[in-house]
Structure 1
Amino acid sequence: MNHDTQINDAAYQVRLGARAGELTGPTANLAPGRVQANLAILPRALADDFLLFCQRNPKPCPLLAMSEPGSPALPELGHDIDIRTDIPRYRVWKDGQLIAEPTDVRDFWRDDLVSFLIGCSFSFEEAMQENDLPVRHIEQRRNVPMYRTNVPTQAAGVFKGPLVVSMRPLKAADAIRAIQVTSRFPSVHGAPVHFGEPAEIGISDIQRPDYGDAVDILPGEVPVFWACGVTPQSVVAAVKPEFCITHAPGHMLVTDLLNSRMAVF
């Protein structure tokens, strides 16, 4: 999990804004060019199982970095990162129940916690925009719509649960181009997992996402679905670990990594 980083003032300012409590909203389109990451923090006793879960489910959980137990630092992802403060909003879970959505988690921190940072589709959206592909939630200044599906993940140890997907509506020709563009970025979810009829993957109402905001689907467009790094949150709800911290959906860690370095071809 070695990645080249260079200190980036825009990304660092986003992190400092979150650290100061000044930035509390979604991070889509902030610090263009820099990789954003989903978060799952678990007790060390569960870390090996979750690492295996990520390895078995690389589409929804492409692992970018894993911390040392008890350490809030992630130097391979960026300058001066403190994972307890540098995300705009967190979710704290106890026995699978959401108990808080704070803007920092220092009061919840424990010496046995291990942080997992997972690639985010916000990173490949830059490549979509560079190819003149519309990204509707950015256009409408909304959080990306995300849905729990009936598609199971591959179990690992105690971890199992349904796949979560994010959705962007596109015309058919644009959907084909989006598949080509995003296939280059497997470490931030890669190509879509489904497009077309939402019911085929267990989504009953496309206008009622489980996470994020609904967006307009225009005439002639089809919904296109990518595996999503919120999947660990559906797994937490299913498995009910005694303690867990995640990001609030759409509120990511903005790293110093370059999106362009995530491309494999």
Structure 2
Amino acid sequence: MNQDNTLHTTLTPEAANCRALIRRGAHTGPTAGLAPGYVQANLMILPKDLANEFLLFCQRNPKPCPLLSVAEPGQYAMPALGQDIDLRQDVPKYRVWHHGELASEPKDLMDIWRDDLVSFAIGCSFSFEEALLANSIDIRHISQGRNVPMYRTNIPTANTSKLHGPLVVSMRPMKAHDAIRAVQVTSRFPAVHGAPIHLGDPALIGIQDINQPDYGDPVDIHEGEIPVFWACGVTPQSIIHTVKPAFSITHAPGHMLITDISNASLASF
């Protein structure tokens, strides 16, 4: 199960410094825009009796759940993503779930960590935002200092025998010409969700009110802009809500694990 040989890192001071700030509680908010140049990751932590099932789910759903690394049971280091990473402390806010219900949002997992827990790091769309900004495309949640808006859709995921639920998407509003460029740019990054899955009318994918995201914050959509939607690594939280496993842990939406992997290294061409 371990994928820790799939990626190579070197210790990067900026990323490591951000993790140090998070670990000591000096940064507790969303991580969009932190450690520019470095990959951020969604986190899913499950007891090992569900781990192989979730691994299969990720393989069947590579757009919302592109795997970056998987740890062995009980392991809280993830050296493929950073030599000093401690998964129990290096996310600004976690979510602890009991039977599919949100039980708490702790700042660390030191008191509840267990030897049977298996951690999955999943690619995050924050990573391709650097390339969009380099193409002079405004990332509205960054320019407005907000968390990215995310929505549950009516698009089903590819089920396994135990795991199923709706796809979650993140949204960034853009002018049409910028949306076309965004498709071209993000297609280069399949390890962090790749190209958008939908542009335009949100009702076509089951979103009734674009100003009421299920996760994150609403952002302004200016005249002449269209919403552009990417598959989102918060999809596992939608699965938790649907399937209701006895115990699971995730990051809080927008509060990511900052790694030592460079965004550029994930470009496929």
Bin for the TM-score computed over the shorter chain: over 0.9
Letter in 1 for 2:140: R
Is contact 1:12-1:79 (8 Å) kept?
Answer: no
> How far off is 1:157 after superposition?
2.8
Where do 4+ consecutive residues of structure 1 move more than 3 Å? none
Residue of structure 2 equivalent to 1:5? 9
Letter in 1 for 2:266: M
| Structure 2 spans left out of the alignment, 5+ residues | none
In structure 1, the residue corresponding to 2:180 is in which secondary structure? helix
Does the alignment pair 1:230 with 2:237? no
Separation in 1 of the partners of 2:159 and 2:187? 25
Does the alignment pair 1:26 with 2:34? no
Q: What's the Cα RMSD here?
A: 0.6
**Aligned runs of 1:104-253 on 2, under 5 Å?**
104-253=108-257
Does the alignment pair 1:35 with 2:76? no
Is contact 1:145-1:215 (8 Å) kept?
Answer: yes
Letter in 2 for 1:207: N
Residue of structure 1 equivalent to 2:92? 88
> How far off is 1:5 after superposition?
0.9
Letter in 2 for 1:53: F
**Deviation digits for residues 68-124 of structure 1, max 9, x if unmatched?**
100101000002110000000000001001000000011111110000000000000
Aligned residues: 265
Residue of structure 2 equivalent to 1:262? 266
> How far off is 1:17 after superposition?
1.2
**Structure 1 residue aligned with 2:102, among 98, 102, 105?**
98
Does the alignment pair 1:44 with 2:52? no
**Structure 2 residue aligned with 1:70, among 70, 74, 85?**
74
> How far off is 1:29 after superposition?
0.7
Q: What is the percentage of aligned positions where both structures have the same residue?
A: 65
